[in-house]
């Protein structure tokens, strides 16, 4: 059973998709029957064992508690990045985590932190990287940039985290159309639906070594 930590700073809608797939209540069960692909096992191969937020008021923390998952606050405010990341690593390692999933975590992790977990941190980005990514590109800003560029297609990207923001190797992508009359909010809703579908599948594949 692969032990997963999810880092989230906000409402936790993508976290909820991971909890729905890999929360404690799903231990040893097929996940909606949809993730057993290419001869994979019907048994759950991963479990969310920890949710961490840098925001004490994040709704993600309440989602974790409702699911019976330990929830920790590691506040970044009023301290150095080194101290913040040292506590973040300590909490993560205390729970024996194998894979870290960033799900709306609004802190850029330093190369030193990423180096502690090589090829063990995944992130979701609400656009088709390498387009519309990089420092400062998150949330509504991404969808505003997509609409301003006039492209016909957007989507989401699940990628490995490295020392470059949004620069790690791409694992999987899903596309959505950009429709006439779209606003950042309507486009975001369409992209988030794909993120909620794709991220659990990637975690499943990761746990099975695929």
- The whole-angstrom separation of Cα 200 and Cα 192 is 13
Active-site choice (26, 125, 143, 159): 125
Are the C-beta atoms of 126 and 192 separated by less than 8 Å? yes
- Picking from 165, 166, 7, the residue whose alpha carbon sits closest to that of residue 85 is 7
- End-to-end, the C-alpha distance of the chain in Å comes to 15
Choose among 129, 133, 83, 136: nearest CA to 108.
136
Q: What are phi and psi of 124, to 5 degrees?
A: -110, 140
Omega of the bond leading into 130 within 30 degrees of 0 (cis): yes
Per DSSP, the residues of 87-100 read HHHHHHHHTT-SEE
Alpha carbon dihedral 202, 143, 71, 41, in 10-degree steps, equals -10
Angle between helices 13-22 and 59-66 (to 10 degrees): 10
Query: Is residue 125 among the annotated active site residues?
Result: yes
Q: Which residues are catalytic?
A: 125
């Amino acid at each position: 059973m692969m032990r997963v930590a999810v880092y989230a700073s906000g409402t936790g809608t993508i976290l909820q998709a991971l909890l729905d797939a890999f929360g404690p209540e799903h231990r040893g069960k097929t996940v909606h029957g949809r993730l057993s692909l290419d001869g994979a096992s019907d048994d759950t191969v991963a479990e969310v064992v920890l949710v961490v937020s840098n925001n004490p008021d994040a709704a993600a923390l309440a989602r974790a508690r409702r699911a019976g998952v330990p929830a920790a606050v590691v506040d970044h405010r009023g301290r150095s990045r080194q101290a913040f990341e040292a506590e973040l690593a300590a909490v993560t390692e205390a729970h024996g985590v194998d894979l870290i999933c960033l799900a709306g975590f609004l802190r850029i992790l330093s190369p030193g932190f990423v180096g502690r977990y090589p090829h063990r941190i995944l992130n979701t980005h609400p656009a088709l990287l390498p387009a519309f990514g990089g420092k400062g590109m998150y949330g509504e800003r991404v969808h505003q940039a997509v609409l301003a560029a006039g492209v016909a297609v957007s989507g989401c990207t699940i990628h490995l985290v490295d020392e470059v923001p949004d620069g790690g190797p791409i694992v999987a992508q899903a596309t959505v159309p950009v429709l006439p009359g779209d606003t950042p909010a309507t486009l975001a809703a369409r992209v988030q639906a794909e993120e909620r579908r794709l991220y659990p599948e990637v975690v499943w594949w990761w746990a099975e070594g695929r």
